[in-house]
Chains A and B, each alone.
Chain A
Amino acid sequence: MDVAIEITSSICLLIGSFLCVSGGVGILRFPDFYTRMHAAGVTDTLGAGMILIGLMLQSQDFLVFAKLVMILLMMLFINPTASHALAKSAIHNGLKPVLDIKERNNTESESSSR
């Protein structure tokens, strides 16, 4: 039983860490604001959530477990809402998403050739 919990928890922690790192790479590599926000928002919610679940499985104390559950709930509430508010204000202020990389390259080469 202990071994099973240990293995599940480490798998959760590993997936969580991988998601957080990939979110960081995504912020640097994605082409425009919305895709970057997606990288930051989705992977942070899921990544941090997985890490918290992994930590919950590790915790011996009930108090620690309860605190982690509270943090997880708070994050599930706040992170998506923050991303939503961010995207909404970006749209509201007229930031257009880049729909196709080819299209963007074309417009860039056109504007530079002019």
Chain B
Amino acid sequence: MKDLVAVVMLAGIYGLLSACFFVAMDAVDVAFTEASVGAGISTLLMLVAITMTGRSEQAARHKPALAFVVVVITGGLLIYGTLDMPYFGAVDAPIQVHVAPRYINDSMQEVGVPNIVTSVLASYRGFDTFGEAVVIFTAGIGVLTLLPVLRSRKGDDAVESLNDSMHEQHLIVRIVTKILIPLILLFALYVQFHGDFGPGGGFQAGVIFAAAIILYAMLFGLEVARRVINQTFIQFAAAFGVLLYGSVGLVSLLNGGNFLDYSVLSADPIAGQHLGILLIELGVGCTVTSVMVIIFFHFAGRKEDKQRMKEEEVG
């Protein structure tokens, strides 16, 4: 397929379909993440990247036959490897007998959070999640270093006139978006703080929150959105999220527990766990939101800068 937009759309549809089969397999948290990250924000960021790189694929300079042979052999080996795996859903499979019984039986007494997925993600496997937050933060830093925004500040009049012309062009979409954005933000907060009780958590909430901001930036222009979301603040927030996560770990270390052992945060272990999970989910949400917004602003800002430079060359 030569048209990259179609390829991105197919990837998004694949993400949505896999979210559907995750729901069918009762993995609602994973499905939620897949729908918001795989089908939502990554499709969007890919589309923004395509606006910079061009829409059609470049002619292949290498022979595809060799790559095809390698892919077929690797795929065959992987399928051969799955033959050794226990039957799907087998009771004696390692995954069912190793740590899962402890999570299912004891997490209510040890962590006291109704959603076992959250207790595993944030408490038992807190260190892994810390790693994920750091990975996202690193991605944000990478984009910041690779794509510096060459900012030649537009005057207020230019922004105003652009705003007016866009207002006429996108009147209906703008009005509906203005109604929807508060609801999206509210939903993101709900997902953030309801993660203990139902599907949801910092990652999904962060992506939804960022989606609302990106929607605003797409319809009201990048300059206006930059005024609403201060760039320095958003970069600070990205670092603050990871810092908050790490600090919770350090505080529990100082209180005499292990790193990220929230039981020592409060006199009552269960209350300590609740507090710890709330704080680290807040950190994750903070980082994810800021990094997604940073990536979008820098990709889209790059495109605007290129256009402006072209205009200046022509003029």
B24 contacts A by Cβ under 8 Å: no
B314 contacts A by Cβ under 8 Å: no
Are B180 and A77 touching (Cβ within 8 A)?
yes
The CA-CA distance from A66 to B218 in the complex, in Å, is 31
Which listed residue, B172, B179, B180, B183, touches A84 by the CB 8 Å rule? B172
Are B172 and A77 touching (Cβ within 8 A)?
no
The CA-CA distance from A81 to B171 in the complex, in Å, is 11
Question: Which residues of A, 74-89, contact B by the 8 Å Cβ criterion?
Answer: 74, 77-78, 81, 84-85, 88
Residue of A nearest to B172 (CB): A84
Report which B residues bind A (CB closer than 8 A): 170, 172-173, 176, 179-180, 183
Number of interface residues of A (CB under 8 A): 7
The CA-CA distance from A84 to B172 in the complex, in Å, is 8
Tell me whether chain A's interface is mostly helix, strand or loop, or mixed.
Answer: helix
Are A77 and B179 touching (Cβ within 8 A)?
yes
Complex interface: chain B residues within 8 A of A85 (CB): 170, 173
Complex interface: chain A residues within 8 A of B179 (CB): 77
Question: What are 14 A-B pairs at a CB distance below 8 A?
Answer: A74-B183, A77-B176, A77-B179, A77-B180, A78-B176, A78-B180, A81-B172, A81-B173, A81-B176, A84-B172, A84-B173, A85-B170, A85-B173, A88-B173
Task: Report the minimum CB–CB distance from B12 to chain A (whole Å).
Answer: 14
The CA-CA distance from A78 to B173 in the complex, in Å, is 9
Complex interface: chain B residues within 8 A of A81 (CB): 172-173, 176
The CA-CA distance from A20 to B31 in the complex, in Å, is 24
Complex interface: chain A residues within 8 A of B176 (CB): 77-78, 81
Hey, what's the 0/1 contact readout for A5-22 against B, CB within 8 Å counting as 1?
000000000000000000
Task: Report the minimum CB–CB distance from A77 to chain B (whole Å).
Answer: 6
